[in-house]
Every structure is written in C-alpha cells, then in structure tokens.
C-alpha cells in the first residue's frame, strides 16, 4: 500500500506534537508493509540535511514559506499536486489547517484519511480571521475525508456534536523508554538529579509557560530549579518576552532538544509541569508519565481525558493555585507507577489500528 503523508513540518527530530506522532507512527507502518512518503516543509530543514529516507520512510522536501499564516495551506496544496502525480493508494493529512485542502484532494481523485489533532482555532496565537479559517478546515475535513482519525475522546465528541461525523479513535502513543544517568549535559545546565521541575513545549502563549514562571516565583524557600525545554517556530513578541522572563528569574532554558539530551532531562527531573490552555492529546505529558515522573497539569479537557488523580490537576490560568500545587508536589512526590494508564498509548498497537483504517479505505 502506497501512502503519502501531508500536514507535518517533517521528520525526524522536528519540533512539534504532530511531528513526534509521525516520526513514531510511519516507520512502524513501513515495517507492516506500507510504502510511506512523508512530504516535508523545506523551510524547516536543518542546514545541510539532504536525507531522503528515515527508517524506511521516504522523505520529499517541497518548498513552503516560513510564515505561520500561510505556510500550511500553501504547502498542503503543493503536496497534493505532487501526490496526484505519484498516484498513491491514499494520502494521510494531519491537522485542521491542512484539512482545508481535503476537498481539493478528493476532486483530484485521491482517497484521504485525515487525523484531527485538536481544535487548533483555540490557540491564543490566532486572530479572528485565522480562527474562522481553521474552523472551516475542521468542518471540511469532517465532511470530505474518507475516514477521520481522532486522538482523543474530546475531539471525537466535537466532531460528533458539530458535524454528526463518526470518527476512528486512535490515541497518540509513547515509545518504551530507557533510563539514563546524569552526564556532562545535565552538569552543563547547572542541574542536579531530582532538583528541578521540567516543562516541555513550544514557546507560544497557549502553553502557559508565563503562568508557570509566575507560580514558580511564588514558591517559598525552594531548592529546586525550573527548566523549560523548547523554543518558538516563529520568533514573536511573546517568545521574546518569555525568554526575557527566564533570564530575569534564572530559569533554565535548553532550546529544542531531542534524543539522549531530552531523555536525560526527563530521567532526572523531580516533577513535570504542563500549564497549557490548549492541547490535543499531549505527547509531552505521556512522555513524562513513561518515565514515572510525578506530573502537575492544567485541568483542560485534553489533560483530564488522561484520567489522572485529581491531585495532579490545577485550575488552568490560576497562578496562585498552581504555585500552591507545585509546593505540595515537590515536598511530597516520588516515582509513580503509570502502567495502568499507558497500555492504550502503545505505538505498535496504534500502527496496526491505523493500517486497519487504511485497508478499509482502500478496499
């Protein structure tokens, strides 16, 4: 089965939840017998990267402007033209923004599976016009896709309620982890095992890192540090102000990291925090849980869907409650067994479920 993937910035090791999702899923689908091509956005290529394949997944780079307002729609249209020339059995389109072009793909005779990763129009970075366009993308994806995959029950409920569209529930996953002892990297950041709180994500307003910094600064007599892992795709006023806050309050920022460095940060943290205002199904949270890290997350629907203990949640946007919860967690928390939560987030199972959906579309 020949599959072309559209809507991701690219793989491997590109920043973003959709990108992590694709990096884990498609090599597994290759091992299950699929011929997979991921169409990447050229603007996000690392300088000197000429790779044409990753773990059996073919990589094709197509031009896209690095502009948050138009890059997704521009690149998706170009990628659909390319896919039509190559005549795959189906295209798999990720995200409600790229889903704007699904009617066009269907008009060209392509079969389309789409994955709705969440209501992106809820993100604070978008203005009124962009939110309207993203809502239209959600609608067109729900109406015109041959099959729609959703990554959480929250998204499934949205599509059923708003569009009366049945969807296939296939969760995000998390790969088995290998624990790693502290090394020179941890030392270079001035960090010590079990003496820091970690948060992971893009430096965008909906991730709530400004709340986390404010809450951290309210802590009394704390010996722990705060570490922010991530960066911005597009430098803007918010990301610059966040970095300035981090410098002012001695917050450790690592930039975008992956591989052994990210593993080391997770393995040796005291607590994982996620103060997000918006998520689809948060891969960073699942990663933290896979390392048995105690977690403290906002009580938004996507996080509540993971069904953690009530003590693991705080009211989103409430800095005082977040600070109080942080204080309690860092004085009482220890390693947590999440095995009962993690069984459904297995990438091998997810790959088999996705292949089953492909086969139903094609046959």
The torsion angles phi and psi of 284, rounded to 5 degrees, stand at: -60, -40
**6 SS3 class:** strand
Determine the pLDDT at residue 104: 97
Q: Token pair 């105690």 is at which residue?
A: 294
pLDDT at 223: 87
Distance between CA atoms of residues 234 and 67, nearest Å: 8
Tell me the residue length of the chain.
Answer: 363
**Contact 191/268 with Cβ under 8 angstroms?**
yes
Question: For the segment 192-213, what is each residue's pLDDT rounded down to a tens digit?
Answer: 999 999 999 999 999 999 999 9
Q: Is the pLDDT of residue 105 over 80?
A: yes
Q: Confidence band (pLDDT; 50, 70, 90) for 81? A: very high
Token pair for 33: 């017998």
Helices and strands (DSSP H and E) totals, the chain: 14, 14
Q: What is the mean pLDDT of residues 130-156?
A: 95
Q: Is the pLDDT of residue 325 over 70?
A: yes
d(CA 23, CA 136): 27
- CA dist 343 and 326 (Å) reads 28
pLDDT the model gives residue 188:
94
Would you state the pLDDT for residue 123?
A: 74
Q: Is the pLDDT of residue 332 over 90?
A: no
Domains and CATH numbers, the chain: 2-173+346-362 (3.40.50.2000), 184-342 (3.40.50.2000)
Confidence of residue 91 (pLDDT cuts 50, 70, 90): very high
Residue 112 exposed, middle or buried by CB count within 10 Å (0-12, 13-18, 19+): buried
Reading the block at residue 48, the tokens are: 């000197």
Question: Does residue 175 surpass a pLDDT of 80?
Answer: no
- Structure tokens given for 117: 């990763």
Which has the higher per-residue pLDDT, 138 or 70? 138
Of 152-166, 169-183, 191-205, 287-301, the least confident: 169-183
**pLDDT at residue number 47:** 65
C-beta of residue 29 within 8 angstroms of C-beta of residue 58: no
53-54 and 57-62 strand pairing:
antiparallel
The side-by-side arrangement of strands in the sheet containing 313-314 is 252-255, 225-229, 196-200, 271-274, 295-298, 313-314
Q: Virtual CA dihedral for 317, 253, 49, 6, nearest 10 degrees?
A: -10
Closest to 301 measured CA to CA, from 164, 165, 158, 167: 158
- What average pLDDT does this structure show over 214-231? 91
- 172 backbone dihedrals φ, ψ, rounded to 5°: -65, 160
User: In the structure, what pLDDT confidence band is assigned to residue 144 with cuts at 50, 70 and 90?
Assistant: very high
Does 122 have pLDDT greater than 80?
no
Q: What is the pLDDT of residue 176?
A: 72
d(CA 98, CA 114): 9
Mean pLDDT, all residues of the chain: 92
> Does the structure show a pLDDT above 90 at 14?
no
The answer, yes or no, to whether residue 145 has pLDDT greater than 80, is yes
DSSP 287-313: HHHHTT--EEEE--HHHHTT---GGGE
- The pLDDT of residue 177: 73
pLDDT of residue 221: 67
Closest CA to 122 of 80, 151, 158: 158
Burial class (CB in 10 A: 0-12, 13-18, 19+), 85: exposed
> What pLDDT shows up at residue 278?
87
Share of the chain above pLDDT 90, in %: 73
Q: What is the arithmetic mean of pLDDT over 102-112?
A: 98
Residue 69 has pLDDT above 80, yes or no: no
């Amino acid at each position: 089965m020949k599959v072309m993937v559209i809507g991701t910035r690219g793989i491997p090791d590109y920043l973003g939840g959709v990108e992590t999702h694709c990096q884990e899923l498609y090599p597994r689908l290759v091992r299950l017998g699929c011929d997979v091509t991921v169409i990447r956005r050229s603007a996000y290529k690392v300088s000197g990267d000429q790779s044409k394949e990753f773990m059996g997944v073919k990589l094709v780079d197509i031009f896209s402007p690095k502009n948050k307002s138009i890059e997704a729609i521009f690149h998706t249209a170009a990628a659909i033209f390319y896919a039509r020339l190559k005549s795959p059995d189906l295209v798999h389109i990720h995200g409600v923004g790229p889903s704007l072009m699904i009617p066009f793909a269907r008009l060209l005779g392509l079969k389309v599976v789409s994955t709705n990763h969440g209501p992106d129009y809820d993100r604070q970075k978008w203005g009124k016009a962009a939110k309207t366009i993203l809502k239209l993308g959600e609608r067109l994806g729900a109406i015109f896709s041959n099959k729609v995959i959703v990554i959480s029950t929250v998204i499934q409920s949205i599509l059923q309620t708003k569009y009366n569209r049945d969807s296939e529930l296939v969760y995000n996953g998390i790969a088995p982890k290998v624990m790693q002892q502290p090394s020179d990297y941890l030392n270079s950041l001035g960090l010590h095992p079990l003496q820091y709180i970690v948060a992971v994500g893009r430096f965008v307003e909906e991730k709530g890192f400004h709340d986390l910094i404010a809450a951290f600064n309210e802590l009394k007599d704390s010996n722990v540090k705060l570490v922010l892992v991530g960066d911005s795709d597009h430098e803007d006023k918010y990301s610059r102000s966040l970095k300035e806050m981090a410098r002012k309050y001695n917050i450790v920022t690592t930039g975008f990291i992956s591989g052994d460095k990210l593993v080391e940060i997770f393995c040796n943290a005291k607590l994982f925090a996620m103060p997000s205002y918006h998520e689809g199904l948060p891969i960073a949270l699942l990663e933290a849980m896979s390392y048995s890290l105690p977690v403290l997350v906002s009580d938004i629907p996507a996080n509540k869907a993971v069904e953690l203990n009530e003590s693991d949640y705080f009211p989103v946007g409430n800095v005082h409650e977040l600070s109080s919860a942080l204080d309690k967690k860092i004085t009482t928390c220890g390693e947590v067994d999440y095995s009962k939560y993690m069984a459904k987030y297995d990438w091998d199972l997810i790959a088999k479920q996705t292949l089953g959906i492909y086969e139903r579309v094609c046959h």
